[in-house]
Structure formats: C-alpha cells, structure tokens
Structure 1
Amino acid sequence: MAALVAAAAVAGVALQGAGAAVAAGPGARGDAGYGRAVLEQDVAAVRKAGGKVKVLAQVRRGGESVRARAGAGTKVPWNARFRVASTTKTFTAAVVLQLVDEGKLSLDDSVEKWLPGVVSGNGNDGSRITVRDLLRQTSGLFDYVEDPELIRAVTEEFDENRYDATPAREWVRVAMRHEPVFTPRPDAPRWAYSNTNYLLAGMIAEKADGRTWREQVEQRVIAPLGLHETSVTGTDPFLRGPHARVLLPGPDGGTLDVTEHTLQHTADSAVVSTTRDLNAFYRALMSGKLLPERQLAEMKRTVERTDDPDDVAAWPEGGYGLGVRETPLSCGGSYWHHEGDGFGTYTRTGVTPDGRRSVAVSVTSDGQAPDQVKLNAATRTLVDHALCGRGK
C-alpha cells in the first residue's frame, strides 16, 4: 500500500521535529552495549525522521524485552494494535509453505493450474508464472495498488471508499487491465514488487486447502503460536483493543482520520498485530516452529531485486526471499524481515537467523505521512543496534 500512502499525503508538507519525550517500558536490561537508553535514542531518531508521527518499538533478546515509545499528545499504548500492512506477506508465505510441506501444492505449480484463466490478457499469462514467482515477487505482474483509478478513489474520495470490500479476485482483474512489467524467466529471474502476487497466493491457498485464507492464517499461525493480540481484519473496519488514531492530511488541506477502514482486507495486507506478537511470530518462524527446515530454507533463498528502483531506494541492500527480505548487519551476517506501509501506518521488523533476537517497530502518522526513505534509514539503524547488541 506504499503507493497509496504516498499519494494520500499532501505534497509539500514540511517534516516537523520530534518535539516529544520518549517513554521507556518497564523492566529489562539489554546485553553489554545495548539496553533501554540506546532504544530510547533510536526511537527518538525514528520520531525525528518521521516528523509528525508516533513510534512504538519492542526488542526481544533471548528472554529479555525492552520497549520505548515517542510522540506528542496521547501516548501510544504499550500493547497498541496496528495494521501491519505488507508485513502480512510473511504470514501468507508461511501458510503457502505449510501447504507445500503437506503436499497440497508445489512451488513449481503454475498459477494457471490453480486459477484457470484468472491471469490472462494484455500480455499476462498465468501458465508462465509459478507459485514461487508469486511469493518472491518475480512474476512481473502489475501492482494493482498503482492503478490510477484506485489511487484517485483513495486519495480524493477516501471517505466514500473507506468501507470498500472488493474481493481479491476483482483487484486481480484490475491488475489484468495493465501489461506486465516483464515476463518471468526461470533461468534469469527479474524482480519487481507487486501486491497482486499475494492476492493470487491467497487465492491459491484457498483452492489447495479448502479453507479461506483468513481461516488458514488464524488456524495455522495465530492460534498455534498463541498470538492473542493478532487478528485478520476481513471487512471489520475497527481496530479492536488499544490503538493510536491514524491521521493524514486530507485533500481539502485539513486532517483526515483514517483509523477505521476496510481497504486492507486481503492476503497482501489484512493482519492486525502488536509489537509483542510480531516479535513472537518472527522468532517462531526463524526457529523452525512454523516451518520444517526444508521449507524455511526455501523461504530464505533470495533473488536480486532488478526492476524496481523505488524499492531499491527504500531498501538499498539485500535480496528478497519468499515473503521475507534479507538485510546485512553491521556486526556481520544479516537479518530477516518484512516492512508494511499502509494508510498512515508503517511497520518495521527484524529477526536474527536463529530467532533469538528480534525487534518490531510501529510508526503511526499523527497528521502527516513521513518521508519513507528517511524513515527507513532511521528504522534500519534501530534494528541494527538491537540485533547487533550495541549502541551508537
């Protein structure tokens, strides 16, 4: 949803300074060189980079936890629920890989096999796209959120469309109105980020299993891991439980409250969670509690990002696996994560390959959309400090 968020912001709004104190959570210490003080500084830096936003971060290191938050006015609840947006893609990829492990589908299956005729027209060909292509963003399919009519609907007429419940299949049809960015080549994969891929992945998971994508996320991931603060919204517009209000500039120059909406209700964006639960999810994923070794290895097999300069600008280093990114650490090695950019909500995560260390960050617009290049740089620094165990 990054394109929609960027379009929703009024051009020319200047970034504002941090202007607010940082509050640290109770309790825990970090290891040598890292602890509450470093996280407080990094959260303040994220707040400054983001401008008029609220920030909440939680770091898990072994059995210890450190939290910090920043923002003007009413504080973000420590257990705030937020829409994780595209971080949902890791949940969807985990579900699909479980189905692969159960023999219900193959990563080499074509989209055409599972969804006959759905990907066709204007140069689109589902027989040349595999399930693996969908999960690793190598299909070349047009990203439906970039459709000009859709952008206009959510930027100029948000209130009229905030309760939209268009099913995934209809959004795929929107993508099919456009030519693909490229045609997949198994011998030389090309890469371009497209939310359309995960709509199709969710639809295939439903065909392969018989349960809805939402039911599978709930029964295969949320319930087994005890993620009591995580849910799949479906067409419920409300954030259930503690949360921050999400405020963006409106088209008339005023402030638009976008907290309640149903626009993120599909397999690319529909999960709501907390920093605690996201840490638990990524730690469980990397420690083998959700996927067997073979499927986790498939998830972590990355490709180079080749045809999406905006994505490379946002994430200048690292490759893309099956629903996860890999980014190098300053202390050596790398970490795994997936960002989420929704309507005024920005999720950043990170976990070490062994699952022992993790971090989750939630940034909420409080009147303006942040410069995401600056925001990403600040959050990458926060994640690097948290996972490397050292400060500035």
Structure 2
Amino acid sequence: MHLPRRLLSGLISTATAFGLMVSSSTAADMGHTRTRAAMEALVARDDAPGVLAQVADGAGVWNGSTGTADYATGRPREAGDRFRIGSLTKPFVATVVLQLEAEGTLGLDDPVSRWLPEVRLGRYGAAAGRPEGAVTVRQLLGHTSGIPDYTADPALRAAYFSPRFPKVRMRTHSAAELVRRALSRPPLFRPGTGWSYSNTNYLLAGMVIERATGHSYATEIERRVLRPLKLRDTSLPGTSPRIPGQHGKEYSTLFAPGADPPVRDVTALNPSLAGASGEMISSAGDLVRFVRALATGRLLPPREAARMRTTRRADATDRYGLGLTERTLSCGVTVWGHDGTIHGSSTAAYTTPDGGHTIAVNLNGDWSDGARDLVEAEYCD
C-alpha cells in the first residue's frame, strides 16, 4: 500500500460514517472515559490508523479500541489483536537473566567476556582502565555499558529506516553480525559511568542467555515466562515474517521527511533485525498479565525484583532499571513498565508499583508518540 496520509484520513472519516470503525469495548467505560477520548483523538488527528488498549484495575478489566486494523478491508481494531511489541521484548529478556542470577547460573557482575569471549570488548576495558571484559551483565541490562546502538550504524539506518525498507525487510541478520556493527564504533563512555539506551546491549544479553543455558533466549523465555503465565498470544518469531493468530495490518511512513509522507503496509517483516532487543509479538491482554506479574513478584524473588527496580536517570520523566522503566507522569503518579516501537507498531505497558492498576496499549502505526499519551490519559484524571 502506498497512499498519502491525507487520503487515508479521508478513508477513516468515510468508514466511520458508515459505522465500520467506531470505538468498542467489552463493557461500559468503567471510569476510562479519558483514555477512550485520547484513543479517539489519536485516530482523528491521524496519529495512528487504529488504537487498542486493555486496563486492569479494581473495577475489573476494560478493553477499548478505535480506528482501523486494515485500510484495505475496513476491519476495525479488536481487543484480541496481536501485534509486534518492539522493545517491550527487553523486560522479558531481563527477567530470564535475573532468574538465572537467582539460580546461581550467572552473576550480574560477571564480565560479559566470561560468557562471550569471542565478542571483543577490549577497547571498552581499556576505556575503563580495567582489563578486557570490563562490561558486565548488569550494565547490559541497565544500558550503562557504553556500547553504541547498532541501529545507529549509518549504512543500516539508510537501508532500514528509510523508504528503502521494503527492499530489505525480509533479510535475515544474526546477533553476532549486528553486534560487530556496533563494536566497530568507539565506546560512548566508560562502562558504568553513563547511561545510553542501546539495543546492542540486549542482543548481547540474549547471547549470554544462550551460552549460560545451552538454549536460545527464545526457548528460555517460553519456558520461564510465557508458559507459567499462560501468555498464549505471545511469541518469538525468530526469522518468520508472519504475525500468527488474529491481527490487523501494521503501517509505517518509513521515516520519510515532509509533513504528509506516504503510509505503507509493513506487516510482514523479518524481525531478526531486532532479535533479543525487540522481536516479540503479543497482545494487550498478555502484556497486562506480564507487567502485573513483574509487579506482584510472580516472576522474580524479592532480591532480583529489587535489582530490576534499582534505577538511574534516563531523561526528564524516566528512570531505567534492569529492563524496566520507572516513569513519573505529569500528575505525579509513578508507573513501571516499558515502551516498544518497531516498524508499523507502537506499544506501551505500565502498572502501578503494586500491580493494582495496569494498562497496555498499541497503535498500528509508528509515526507518533501516542502510546505515551495514552498512559498519561489513563493515570492522570
């Protein structure tokens, strides 16, 4: 699909007039009127083709959706839709690493070189005035390693974050290849002395899981998290371009410049470019269950849960722990969770510290910060 966004906006208005794309929920608004209004506003101003959300709180479970899941058919977004979750993969990976630490299989302060001697981190050790392997497993999970983000590689950005994407989206990448791209650049800072979000850290964390367990990180996530929590909508596709089960389309402007760039259907893509930093697929219901389980201690012993929540400042509103964001909203409420963006999809899942009030949202478009706005709308009445 290659349609101007102004034309797509017109299609939305027409479809709404015929009742094809109205908001829906499984119950009354249950106190989520502000969230519903924010969802509808995102679609109305063309910040997303469609939006869905699930909230679990003291009043029960509320599902809301608005907009379209498929421009070609006019199908509305539905509560059970699956979607790509991008960097919301990271808390799943961090959970497995912390479980392995609790079991004594590895240590958070282990040098990465202990597990991955073939990954040459000598220049990072030299930068810290320490021997090779200065970067630790803890620093990977907390983005304090100083290792550059492989997605900032100029050649990769020119291919994958531009209108050239349709030509390369089915290519397969290995974690080792992507890590080498990152390590070809100098360290951002001495390990442990700064903070910088880097997807490379989680590619390495996935590799550490594999070396420590003898199984892929996908196998360990499935065994340790997905099956115990019965997250049946959640999967790790590896190199498969498909979204299994019920799902709509996912759309992107492919980061094209200008006020009205074309929108393309990018639903099918090979997620090996994201790997352990962002390959997963899930649903709003599964994400609500997952972040609540983290908050209520179902996945980690108290010591490891506390380590996951030991944070440092990331920006004006966020602090980052080990695969988990602590966000202070405009109204002063603190929530814990993560955001995730990948071509065609923008997701957020957050909960209050006690797990009593949880939201998961998804936009099937990648050109706005609307997921963050919906979290604000839910908690800041």
Q: Which amino acid letter does the alignment assign opposite residue 378 of structure 1?
A: D
Q: Which amino acid letter does the alignment assign opposite residue 289 of structure 1?
A: R
SS in 2 for 1:362: strand
Does 2:202 correspond to 1:191?
no
* Cα deviation, residue 113, structure 1: 1.1
What is aligned with 1:325? 325
What is aligned with 1:109? 110
Tell whether the 8 Å contact from 2:326 to 2:335 is kept in structure 1 after alignment: yes
Does 2:54 correspond to 1:58?
yes
| Per-residue CA distance 1:167-215 (angstroms, 9 max, x = gap) | 1111101111111211114xxx310000000000010011111111010
SS in 2 for 1:242: coil
Aligned equivalents of 1:381, 1:292: Cα separation in 2: 30
Tell whether the 8 Å contact from 1:24 to 1:40 is kept in structure 2 after alignment: no
What is aligned with 2:71? none
Give the direction of change, closer, same or farther, for the CA distance of 1:50–1:109 in structure 2 (3 Å limit). Answer: farther
SS in 2 for 1:319: strand
| Per-residue CA distance 1:62-108 (angstroms, 9 max, x = gap) | 47111111214321122111010000000000000000000000110
* Cα deviation, residue 22, structure 1: 4.4
Does 2:375 correspond to 1:380?
yes
Aligned equivalents of 1:44, 1:79: Cα separation in 2: 18
What is aligned with 2:368? 371
Q: Which runs of 5+ in 2 are unaligned?
A: 69-73, 127-131
How do residues 30-179 of structure 1 correspond to structure 2 at under 5 angstroms? 30=30, 34-35=31-32, 37-48=33-44, 51-62=47-58, 64-72=60-68, 73-120=74-121, 127-154=133-160, 155-179=162-186
* Cα deviation, residue 233, structure 1: 0.9
Q: Which runs of 5+ in 1 are unaligned?
A: 1-8, 306-311, 386-390
Aligned equivalents of 2:117, 2:343: Cα separation in 1: 33
Correspondent of 1:274 among 283, 287, 293:
283
SS in 2 for 1:232: coil
Tell whether the 8 Å contact from 2:363 to 2:371 is kept in structure 1 after alignment: no
Tell whether the 8 Å contact from 1:42 to 1:382 is kept in structure 2 after alignment: yes
Tell whether the 8 Å contact from 2:22 to 2:76 is kept in structure 1 after alignment: no
Correspondent of 2:211 among 198, 207, 213:
207
In the alignment of these two chains, the number of paired residues is 357
Aligned equivalents of 2:28, 2:125: Cα separation in 1: 53
What is aligned with 1:3? none
| Per-residue CA distance 1:336-363 (angstroms, 9 max, x = gap) | 0100010020001111111121000000
Tell whether the 8 Å contact from 2:113 to 2:121 is kept in structure 1 after alignment: no
Q: Percent identity?
A: 36
What is aligned with 2:246? 242
Does 2:296 correspond to 1:287?
yes
Of 323-332 and 338-347, deviating more is 323-332
Does 2:294 correspond to 1:297?
no
Aligned equivalents of 2:270, 2:292: Cα separation in 1: 29
What is aligned with 2:230? 226
What is aligned with 1:388? none
Aligned equivalents of 2:204, 2:141: Cα separation in 1: 10
Give the direction of change, closer, same or farther, for the CA distance of 1:124–1:238 in structure 2 (3 Å limit). Answer: farther
Give the direction of change, closer, same or farther, for the CA distance of 1:232–1:63 in structure 2 (3 Å limit). Answer: farther
What is aligned with 1:341? 341
Aligned-CA RMSD value = 2.8
Tell whether the 8 Å contact from 1:233 to 1:270 is kept in structure 2 after alignment: yes
Instruction: Provide TM-score, normalisation by structure 2.
Output: 0.86
Aligned equivalents of 2:64, 2:202: Cα separation in 1: 32
Structure ranking higher on relative contact order (CA contacts 8 Å, 6+ apart): 1
